Structure formats: structure tokens, C-alpha cells
């Protein structure tokens, strides 16, 4: 405050001196606050220059896209785009990039300066993505919903959702993740199992601990990797429709205490075992959907049928019906009781009758053989005597020949021992 200081010396009395002191103090305070604020002003100017490099004009919209600032929405739909547009407007909250030809999503595909801080819903469905690299969704702090469905994902990095820094992963902001029908054609798959690849990305770094909805329908899943659900403790909705799951024996639902819906329709489930039944029953809010599975109604089904009759967990349980064995086909599980549930070997009927026939024939042959032996027991006894005699004769002949060739002393010995 140079102005205040120059005015000060003109005054002579104590009040003025006090005022001068106050002004000097003020000046010192203001100058020190000025120096301390210097770095912050330089950083804002740096930010301003970064922004001015990509001027966010009010009407700006990437080529081939439609933008609505009022709706905070950008749509680049069915445009055969091969990469994510660089000049996405910073206000974008809903981004549709469906029906394109993106092929590869590199690290930081949506990292912009300034960041797309508002982007909450990103739809990449049906954009021919084959590879999603580590950290593809980094620097999207508000991303709540991501749809990657209908892309043949042969390469899904384990660090897709956890970021490219392998040693450190911040929790992902994702709440809803759609991965329906992302199974690549058979010949494009990696060596490792597709199930394992997807599970690794869901598990990495516990990043998806806030996830509430996970859709994995239509992926030809043969099994669920054992610990994949253990890293998704917040799940409320899990959709596994239209896969090829045969068994849930090795999956644990125990920790999914918030689970509200579990869709398992159109799989290849044969039976649910006691452990699974107990886990499902222990989840407080869950509803389970089990339609269109080929239930096998044999003795292993007893526990499940008993559980079904009691439980409120299964939706539409009256619709569940047997697919095997043949004689039980289309019978409702709820109407069975343990007297219906037997463990016959499940063979086609023609083969079953032929096995029965073969068994009877073999038993008959055995019986006839034993009968013949019994009826001929005297003849056999005689025959055995004959054989014994014949043997003895033979042995004596042998001894005789042996004596001719052997040492005389040994001959004596052997004839003695014979006696
Ligand atoms: C995208 O490509 C397909 C065939 O590759 C073509 O039929 C279609 O017209 C293209 N769409 C646009 C918007 O260019
Ligand atoms: C993403 O877009 C596809 C194609 O338009 C649509 O079917 C799907 O419902 C969208 N996903 C979400 C989560 O809205
Ligand atoms: C990974 O994150 C940790 C913690 O934030 C940080 O110390 C480290 O430098 C990061 N590594 C890389 C390669 O970015
Ligand atoms: C699959 O594994 C075999 C041997 O384990 C290897 O020779 C081959 O290169 C692998 N193929 C791919 C596509 O990784
Ligand atoms: C079931 O999955 C297969 C293969 O993943 C797919 O072709 C089919 O359209 C799906 N069916 C339904 C009803 O979604
Ligand atoms: C369930 O969670 C507990 C603690 O949260 C953990 O120790 C345990 O390993 C989890 N069990 C499974 C099967 O994931
Ligand atoms: C399954 O549980 C029921 C009731 O808890 C029990 O009676 C039954 O023996 C169990 N079945 C098997 C195969 O352990
Ligand atoms: C089993 O079902 C049959 C007919 O479906 C019924 O007649 C029988 O009483 C049932 N037995 C038991 C123990 O419920």
C-alpha cells in the first residue's frame, strides 16, 4: 500500500500515528496475501490456456454427432466412427456411441482437458469393439452407467475398470455395468477361458465395490468363476440369463447381502444343491428367476423340491418343470414328491431294454452252467479221479526218466523220499 505510506508522514498527532501504524500493518497483510496467492493465479492461467486450446464454444458438437446442451446429451449413433471423437463438449452427461466401428478402445479414450466431469452414462453398445485396454475409462469421475453390450470382446484387459495403474486402483464410480452378449466368435477367443477373462476385469483391485447392477446375459458362460462375486459386495441386480451354466455348486452368494434379483433363466441348470439353496435362502431381499432350465428329476432333486415348496425366494416357481428323465418331462417340480424321484441310470429306453435283455440272458447262461455242473457231479468226481490218476502215472514216468539221467546218489535219495 504505497499510497497509505506516503500520506502518513504529513500528520503529526498520536491519532494519525496510530492510523499510520494500522495502515502499515494492513499493507503488510495485503502484500503477503498477494505473494501467497501468486501460485494459484498461475495455475488458473495454466488451466485457462488448456481450455483455450480446445475452445468450448457454446454450439460446439463433434462431426457426425448430434448434441443437445439442454439435455446434456451427445449422440453419435450408427456413424461407422472408428475412434471416439476428440472434441466432445464438456457438458456431456449422456454419451451414445452405439453402432460404430471402434474396434479398439485405448487407455484414456475419454480423458480430456478439462475432463468430462459430468459424463454419467456411456453407451458403447454394438460398436464392434474387440479390444478394451487398461484404463480405457480413466478420468471419468462421474461415470455411473456403462453399456458395452453386443461387442465381440476378444480382449478385455483386467484393468479395464480399475485403471491402468496396476499397483493402485481407486474405486470405480460405476454403479451399472452392462456386458450382455460380449462373447466373441469361437475362433477369436484367447487361450484362456472367456469366463476367466471377464471375471479378472470384474475383480481387479476391488475397484467395482460400488457396483449395484451387473448384466452378463447371453455370453455362453459355462461356469461362474469361483470368487468373481466376492469382489462385488454391493450388487443388487445380477443378470445371468441365456448362458450355459450347468451348476452353481462352486459359486458363493453368501456375501451378496444386498442382492435383490438374480436372473438365471435360460441356462443349463440341472439341479440346485443344498449349499446353494441355503445361501439363497439366507439373503434377505433376493428374488430368484429360474425358468427354462433343463431340470433333472431324479433322486438328487429331492432337496430342491422340498425347498421349492417352502420358499418365497423363487419367482414363478409353479412354472418350473422337469426336462429329464423322459417319463418325467414337463411335470411341475412343485407337484413332485420323493416317491417320484428315483435314480435310474438315464439311458434312452431302447438301450435300457437291451441292457435288461442282456442281463437276463447272462443270468440264464450262468444258471444252466451251474445246473449242468450239479447234475454231473458224479461224472465230474470220476473225471477228476481219472485226471489225478493220469497225473500220477505221468509223474511216475517222469521220475523214471529222471532216474535214468540223474546221479545215482540222488536217485537213491529221491526214491527214498518217494516212499
Ligand atoms: C456404415 O458402413 C456400412 C457398411 O460398412 C454402410 O452400409 C453404411 O451406410 C455406413 N453408414 C454410414 C453412416 O456411413
Ligand atoms: C444402449 O444402446 C442400445 C442401442 O441403442 C440400447 O438397446 C440399450 O438399451 C442402451 N443401453 C442403456 C443402458 O440404455
Ligand atoms: C500408482 O498410484 C500410486 C498411488 O496413487 C502412485 O504412488 C504411483 O506413482 C502410481 N503409479 C503410476 C505408474 O502411475
Ligand atoms: C495358445 O497356447 C499355446 C500353447 O499353450 C500357444 O502355443 C499359442 O500361441 C496360444 N495361442 C494364443 C492365440 O495365445
Ligand atoms: C441367447 O444367447 C445367444 C448367444 O449368446 C444369442 O444368439 C441369442 O440371441 C440370445 N437369446 C436371447 C433371447 O437373448
Ligand atoms: C465374505 O466376506 C467376508 C468379510 O467381508 C470375507 O472374509 C469372506 O472371505 C467373504 N466370503 C466369500 C465367500 O467371499
Ligand atoms: C439337505 O438339507 C436338508 C434339510 O436341511 C436335509 O434334510 C438333507 O439331508 C440335506 N441333503 C443333503 C444331500 O445333504
Ligand atoms: C405323492 O404324490 C402322489 C400323486 O402325485 C400322491 O398320491 C401321494 O400321496 C404323494 N405322497 C406324498 C407323501 O405326498
Question: Does 359 map to a domain?
Answer: yes
* Ligand 4 atom 5: residue of nearest CA: 191
Quick check: CB of 337 below 6 Å from ligand 8? Answer: yes
Nearest CA to ligand 8 atom 1: 337
Per the structure, the complete domain to which residue 397 belongs is given by: 352-418
pTM surpassing 0.75? no
Long-range pairs of 346-353 with CB within 8 A, sequence gap ≥ 24:
346/296, 346/298
pLDDT in tens, 151-171: 999 999 999 998 776 666 778
Query: In sequence order, what are the beta bridge partners of 155?
Result: 131
Give the model's pLDDT for residue 220: 93
Query: What's the pLDDT band for 296 if we cut at 50, 70, 90?
Result: very high
Estimate to the nearest angstrom the gap between the alpha carbon of 220 and the chain centroid: 11
Cα of 197 from ligand 6 centre, angstroms: 22
Residue identifier of the C-alpha nearest atom 10 of ligand 5: 218
> Cβ–Cβ contacts within 10 Å for residue 280, how many?
22
Answer yes or no: is pLDDT of 369 > 90: no
Q: Residue 190 CA: which ligand 4 atom is closest?
A: 13
What is the C-alpha to C-alpha distance for residues 210 and 134, in angstroms, rounded to an integer?
Answer: 19
pLDDT average, residue stretch 223-252: 92
**Residue 209 located in a structural domain:** no
Work out how many domains the chain is built from and give that number: 1
> Mutation test of ligand 3: which of 107, 135, 165 has the most ligand atoms closer than 8 Å to its C-beta?
165
Using an 8 Å Cβ cutoff, are 136 and 113 in contact?
A: no
Kindly list the distances between the CA atom of residue 42 and the CA atoms of 49, 54, 82, in Å, as whole numbers in the listed order: 11, 19, 38
Q: Quick one: how far is CA 60 from the chain centroid?
A: 41
Instruction: Give the model's pLDDT for residue 27.
Output: 45
Q: Which of 38-52, 243-257, 335-349, 380-394 has the lowest mean pLDDT?
A: 38-52
Closest CA to 121 of 145, 154, 86: 145
Residue 384 falls inside a structural domain:
yes
Region 120-138 average pLDDT: 95
Which percentage of the chain shows pLDDT scores above 90? 54
Q: What is the largest CA-CA distance in the chain?
A: 161
Q: Which of 337, 340, 342 to mutate to test the pocket of ligand 8 (most atoms within 8 A of CB)?
A: 337
Instruction: Report how far ligand 2's centroid is from the alpha carbon of 383 (Å).
Output: 90
Task: Answer yes or no: is pLDDT of 411 > 60.
Answer: no
Q: What is the pLDDT of residue 118?
A: 94
Ligand whose nearest atom lies closest to the CA of 299: 7
Instruction: Pick from 187, 191, 192 the residue to mutate for probing ligand 4's pocket: most ligand atoms within 8 Å of its CB.
Output: 191
Of 101-110, 133-142, 270-279, 351-360, where does mean pLDDT reach its minimum? 351-360
Which residue's CA is the nearest one to ligand 1's atom 13? 79
Burial of 366 (0-12, 13-18, 19+ CB in 10 A): exposed
Q: How far apart are CA 206 and CA 227, in angstroms?
A: 12
Cell of 174: 460405476
Residue 250 pLDDT > 60: yes
Residue 95 has pLDDT above 90, yes or no: yes
pLDDT in tens, 170-203: 789 999 999 999 999 887 666 678 999 999 999 8
Ligand 3 within 6 A of 80 CB? no
* Dist. CA 10 → ligand 6 center (Å): 80
- Give mean pLDDT, residues 301-310: 94
Q: Does the pLDDT at position 57 exceed 70? A: no
What is the percent of the chain with per-residue pLDDT over 70, rounded to a whole number? 75
User: Residue 38 — very low, low, confident or very high, per pLDDT cuts 50/70/90?
Assistant: very low
Q: Establish if 403 belongs to a structural domain.
A: yes
Q: Which residue's alpha carbon is nearest to atom 3 within ligand 1?
A: 80
**Minimum mean pLDDT among 139-153, 195-209, 349-363: which range?**
349-363
Q: At what angle do helices 377-405 and 349-375 cross, to 10 degrees?
A: 70
Does residue 220 fall inside a structural domain?
no
Instruction: With cut-offs at 50, 70 and 90, classify the pLDDT of residue 41.
Output: very low
Q: Is 108 exposed, middle or buried (0-12, 13-18, 19+ CB in 10 A)?
A: middle
Closest protein CA for atom 4 of ligand 6: 255
What's the pLDDT at 113? 87
Asked whether residue 26 is domain-assigned, the answer is: no
Mean pLDDT of 311-331: 93
Give the closest residue (by CA) to ligand 4 atom 10: 191
Mutate to test the pocket of ligand 6, among 203, 252, 255 (most ligand atoms within 8 A of CB): 255
- Residue 1: pLDDT band with limits 50, 70, 90: very low
**Winning range, highest mean pLDDT, from 65-69, 326-330, 335-339:** 65-69
Phi/psi at 94 (nearest 5 deg)? -120, 120
pLDDT surpassing 80 at residue 218: yes
Handedness of CA 385, 390, 395, 396 (dihedral sign): positive
Judge whether residue 8 has pLDDT over 50. no
87 contacts 67 by C-beta, under 8 angstroms: no
Q: Are 289 and 265 in contact (CB under 8 A)?
A: yes
b/e string for 141-177 if b means 16 or more Cβ within 10 A?
A: eebbebbbbbbebbbbbbbbbbbeeeeebeebbbbbb
Residue 255 Cα to ligand 6 middle (Å):
6
pLDDT tier, 397 (very low <50, low <70, confident <90, very high otherwise): low
More reliable by pLDDT, 346 or 192: 192
Number of the ligand closest to the Cα of 244: 5
Q: In what order do the strands lie in the sheet with 155-156?
A: 104-105, 131-132, 155-156
Which atom, in ligand 5's list, is nearest to the CA of 219? 5
* Contact call for residues 63 and 85 (beta carbons, < 8 A): yes
On average, the pLDDT of the chain sits at: 81
Q: Does ligand 7 have an atom closer than 6 angstroms to the CB of 274?
A: yes
Residue 235's pLDDT is what? 96
Does the structure show a pLDDT above 70 at 364? Answer: yes
282 located within any domain: no
| Ligand 7 atom closest to Cα of residue 302 | 11
Within a domain: residue 378?
A: yes
Mean pLDDT of 209-230: 92
Residue 24, pLDDT above cutoff 50: no
Ligand nearest to the CA of 123: 2
Q: Are 66 and 88 in contact (CB under 8 A)?
A: no
Report d(CA 251, CA 193) in Å as an integer: 17
The rounded distance, in Å, linking the Cα atoms of 168 and 239 is 29
Amino acid at each position: 500500500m504505497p499510497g497509505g505510506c506516503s500520506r502518513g508522514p504529513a500528520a503529526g498527532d498520536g491519532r494519525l500515528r496510530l492510523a499510520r501504524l494500522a495502515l502499515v500493518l494492513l499493507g503488510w497483510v495485503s502484500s503477503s496475501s498477494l505473494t501467497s496467492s501468486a501460485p494459484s493465479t498461475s495455475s488458473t492461467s495454466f488451466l485457462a490456456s488448456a481450455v483455450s486450446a480446445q475452445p468450448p464454444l457454446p454450439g460446439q458438437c463433434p462431426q457426425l454427432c448430434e448434441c443437445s446442451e439442454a439435455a446434456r446429451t451427445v449422440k453419435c449413433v450408427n456413424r461407422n466412427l472408428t475412434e471416439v471423437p476428440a472434441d466432445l463438449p464438456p457438458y456431456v452427461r449422456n454419451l451414445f456411441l452405439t453402432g460404430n466401428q471402434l474396434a479398439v478402445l485405448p487407455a484414456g479414450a475419454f480423458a480430456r482437458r478439462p475432463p468430462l466431469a459430468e459424463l454419467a452414462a456411456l453407451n458403447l453398445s454394438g460398436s464392434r469393439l474387440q479390444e478394451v485396454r487398461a484404463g480405457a475409462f480413466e478420468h471419468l469421475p462421474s461415470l455411473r452407467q456403462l453399456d458395452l453390450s453386443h461387442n465381440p470382446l476378444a480382449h478385455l484387459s483386467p484393468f479395464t475398470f480399475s485403471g491402468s495403474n496396476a499397483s493402485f486402483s481407486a474405486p470405480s464410480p460405476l454403479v451399472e455395468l452392462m456386458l450382455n452378449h460380449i462373447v466373441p466368435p469361437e475362433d477369436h477367443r484367447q487361450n484362456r477361458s472367456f469366463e476367466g477373462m471377464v471375471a479378472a476385469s470384474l475383480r481387479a483391485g476391488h475397484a467395482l465395490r460400488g457396483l449395484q447392477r451387473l448384466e452378463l446375459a447371453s455370453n455362453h458362460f459355462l461356469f461362474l468363476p469361483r470368487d468373481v462375486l466376492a469382489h462385488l459386495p454391493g450388487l443388487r441386480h445380477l443378470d445371468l440369463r441365456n448362458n450355459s451354466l450347468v451348476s452353481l455348486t462352486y459359486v458363493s452368494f453368501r456375501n451378496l447381502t444386498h442382492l435383490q434379483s438374480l436372473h438365471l433363466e435360460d441356462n443349463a441348470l440341472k439341479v440346485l444343491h443344498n449349499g446353494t439353496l441355503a445361501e439363497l435362502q439366507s439373503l434377505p431381499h433376493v428374488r430368484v428367476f429360474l425358468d427354462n432350465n433343463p431340470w433333472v428329476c431324479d433322486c438328487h432333486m429331492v432337496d430342491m423340491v422340498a425347498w421349492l415348496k417352502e420358499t418365497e425366494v423363487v419367482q414363478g416357481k409353479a412354472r418350473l418343470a422337469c426336462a429329464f428323465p423322459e417319463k418325467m418331462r414337463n411335470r411341475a417340480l412343485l407337484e413332485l414328491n420323493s416317491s417320484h424321484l428315483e435314480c435310474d441310470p438315464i439311458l434312452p429306453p431302447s438301450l435300457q431294454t437291451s441292457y435288461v435283455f442282456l442281463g437276463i440272458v447272462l443270468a440264464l447262461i450262468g444258471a444252466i452252467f451251474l445246473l449242468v455242473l450239479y447234475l454231473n457231479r458224479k461224472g465230474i468226481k470220476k473225471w477228476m479221479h481219472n485226471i489225478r490218476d493220469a497225473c500220477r502215472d505221468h509223474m511216475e514216468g517222469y521220475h523214471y526218466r529222471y532216474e535214468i539221467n540223474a546221479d545215482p546218489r540222488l536217485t537213491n535219495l529221491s526214491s527214498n523220499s518217494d516212499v
